[in-house]
């Protein structure tokens, strides 16, 4: 399985503890924290108080990804035994392209970065998976490329602007036309 450059950079940023959505230099962050520490120490009259406040803030920011990971693990425990089969059964198998179903399922699992996380068609990708708009657009581009259903004339799609769940995404791509491959015989 190949990984895109964005995925590699996201993994490296996560390993370093840098949020890839922030886009700011670590030196800028250090300068802001230093200025904030000086300001708190000046206002409180105590450098120790400033360090205590910053330590508490650091603890909150350190624990928030762990809390999110715990939430995903708890959700996965509630869905033990679920797989792509349950996801696929939530669609009409006669009229839904299985390549679209599999691609949406696998790409969402890859984005969540939680191996084997059971995706449900009714999950809200923005709230349940904490996916941002840019990430969602990247996901849609990947699905379009893999399934051969380009993101052209999306305004005429009945699901345009209403996609919030994996099921909506599958239905959206089912309404996108397939690429026409023309074979010219000489």
pLDDT, tens digit, 9 for 90 and up, residues 6-34: 566 566 655 555 554 445 556 666 777 77
In a domain, 45, yes or no: yes
Write the CA distances from 72 to 13, 68, 77, 104, 138, integer angstroms.
Answer: 20, 6, 9, 19, 22
Range of the domain at 51: 5-78
Residue in the structure block whose two tokens are 């669609």: 91
| 44-70 mean pLDDT | 69
Q: Are residues 53 and 129 in the same domain?
A: no
Question: CA-based angle 93:169:74, to the nearest 5?
Answer: 95
Determine, yes or no, domain membership for 182: no
Averaged over 42-46, what is the pLDDT? 76
Q: Are residue 114 and residue 168 in the same domain, yes or no?
A: yes
Q: Tell me: do 127 and 62 sit in the same domain.
A: no
Distance CA 14, CA 12 (A): 5
pLDDT tens digits, 162-173: 888 899 999 988
Q: What is the DSSP string of 111-128?
A: HHT-TT----TT--TTTT
Same-domain status, 104 and 165: yes
Can you tell me whether residue 124 is helix, strand or coil? coil
Which of 50-59, 110-119, 130-139 has the highest mean predicted lDDT (pLDDT)?
A: 130-139
Verify that 68 and 99 share a domain, yes or no: no
Rounded distance between C-alpha atoms, residue 140 and residue 152, angstroms: 12
Contacts of 183 (CB under 8 A, 6+ apart): none
Tell me: pLDDT of 1 over 60.
Answer: no
CA distances from 146 to 63, 99, 101, 132 (A): 36, 8, 11, 21
Q: How many domains does the chain have?
A: 2
The pLDDT score that the predictor gives to residue 15 is 56
Residue 113 domain-assigned? Answer: yes
Of 22-26, 55-59, 61-65, 95-99, which gets the smallest average pLDDT? 22-26
Q: Where a domain ends, among 54, 78, 102?
A: 78
Is the predicted pLDDT of residue 57 greater than 80, yes or no? Answer: no
Among candidate residues 78, 93, 120, the one where a domain is terminated: 78
Are 47 and 122 found together in one domain? Answer: no
Residue 57 lies in a domain: yes
**Better-predicted residue by pLDDT, 91 or 114:** 91
pLDDT at position 20, please? 46
- Is 174 a residue whose pLDDT tops 60? yes
């Amino acid at each position: 399985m190949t990984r895109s450059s964005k995925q590699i950079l996201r993994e490296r940023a996560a390993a370093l503890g840098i949020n890839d959505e922030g886009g700011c230099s670590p030196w800028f962050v250090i300068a802001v924290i230093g200025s904030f520490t000086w300001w708190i120490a000046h206002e409180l009259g105590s450098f120790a108080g400033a360090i205590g406040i910053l330590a508490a803030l650091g603890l909150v920011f350190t624990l928030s990804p762990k809390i999110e990971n715990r939430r995903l693990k708890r959700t996965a425990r509630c869905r033990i035994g679920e797989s792509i089969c349950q996801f696929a059964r939530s669609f009409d198998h006669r009229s839904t392209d299985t390549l679209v179903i599999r691609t949406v399922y696998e790409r969402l699992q890859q984005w969540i970065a939680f191996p084997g996380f059971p995706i449900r068609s009714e999950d809200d990708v923005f709230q349940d998976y904490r996916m941002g708009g840019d990430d969602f657009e990247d996901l849609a581009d990947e699905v379009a490329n893999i399934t051969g259903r380009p993101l052209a004339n999306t305004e005429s799609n009945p699901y345009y602007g209403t996609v919030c769940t994996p099921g909506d995404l599958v239905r959206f791509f089912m309404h996108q036309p397939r690429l026409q491959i023309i074979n010219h015989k000489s």
